[in-house]
Amino acid sequence: MQTRKLRLKVGYELSYNCPQPVPMILVVNVHHSRVADLVTPDSLMTEPFVARTSYHDSFGNLCYRLIAPTGRLRIRGEGVVTDTGQPDEAMPDARQHSVEDLPEETLVFLLGSRYCETDLLSETAWRLFSGTPAGWSRVQAICDYVHNWITFNYQNARATRTAAEGFAERTGVCRDFTHLAITFCRCMNIPARYCTGYLTDIGTPTPWAPGDFAAWFEVYLSGRWHTFDARNNEPRTGRVLMARGRDAADVAIVTTFGPNVLESFKVWADEVTEPGA
């Protein structure tokens, strides 16, 4: 039976208060790989209006530059995107490549990065996972371990927590699950890259948590990238990519270069129910 396609309304609203003009970089749009799925574009809007320029970073993510004025600035975007309605794909037979056979563009995702200290966790990774079958099964074993090792707790969120700290503290939010899983994968010579975007609650039990951007990761197996999610550790429906990078430092939704206060933060990703559908 074919899964029905979905229409998802995705968006965000951020409000800042700045005591002086503050330069900002924003990564807030649906990723270019999903642009063809946009029914209505998720155009960036600001109140008051602020001029902005755009560019693509070294990972291909669309970025905006602007200068927030003194006082309050509201940043908002909303779009409707079509989705297959299918959960994350599983390929249990996907194989791991030898390092010498990996494409050059994947090699950067084997290296340590700001939040993923492969040098500190390599011995631990090999102790935990060297006995698992290489390939999909090994990545799933990593996800199972991280999912059970870290306890999800918004109250314990910390923007500076690294993978090694998350491993030691055993608490965090989705980015902490993702950083630790990525680090273990890289330690085991599996290219892994950080992803951020929208994730619906479709198919999950209520009550649902307040909306937020989600973090997951992709690994390179059998000649292409595959989605894994150590935080949820089960196939999910309605995942809409915004940006990819080495870790959270590469895909920050907003990077500011001056004093500011984030006064409100809202994110939504909901199924659109159309009359007669």
DSSP assigned state of 35? G
Task: Output the six-digit token pair for 236.
Answer: 């999910």
**Ranges of the chain whose pLDDT falls below 70:** 1-3, 207, 274-277
Tell me which residue of 215, 219, 274 sits closest to 239, measured CA to CA: 215
Q: Note the pLDDT of residue 3.
A: 58
pLDDT digits (tens, 9 = 90+) for 36-74: 999 999 999 999 999 999 999 999 999 999 999 999 999
CATH 2.60.40.2250 fits 6-85+253-271, yes or no: yes
User: Is the separation of the CB atoms in 87 and 235 below 8 Å?
Assistant: yes
**Structural domain boundaries in the chain:** 6-85+253-271, 99-248
Q: How far apart are CA 22 and CA 73, in angstroms?
A: 11
Residue 183: how many other CB atoms lie within 10 Å:
31
Domains 6-85+253-271 and 99-248 share a fold: no
Instruction: Say what the pTM is.
Output: 0.94
2 burial level (CB within 10 Å; 0-12, 13-18, 19+): exposed
Q: Return the pLDDT at 4.
A: 72
Domain at 99-248, CATH class: alpha beta
Q: How much is the pLDDT for 1?
A: 41
d(CA 192, CA 159): 21
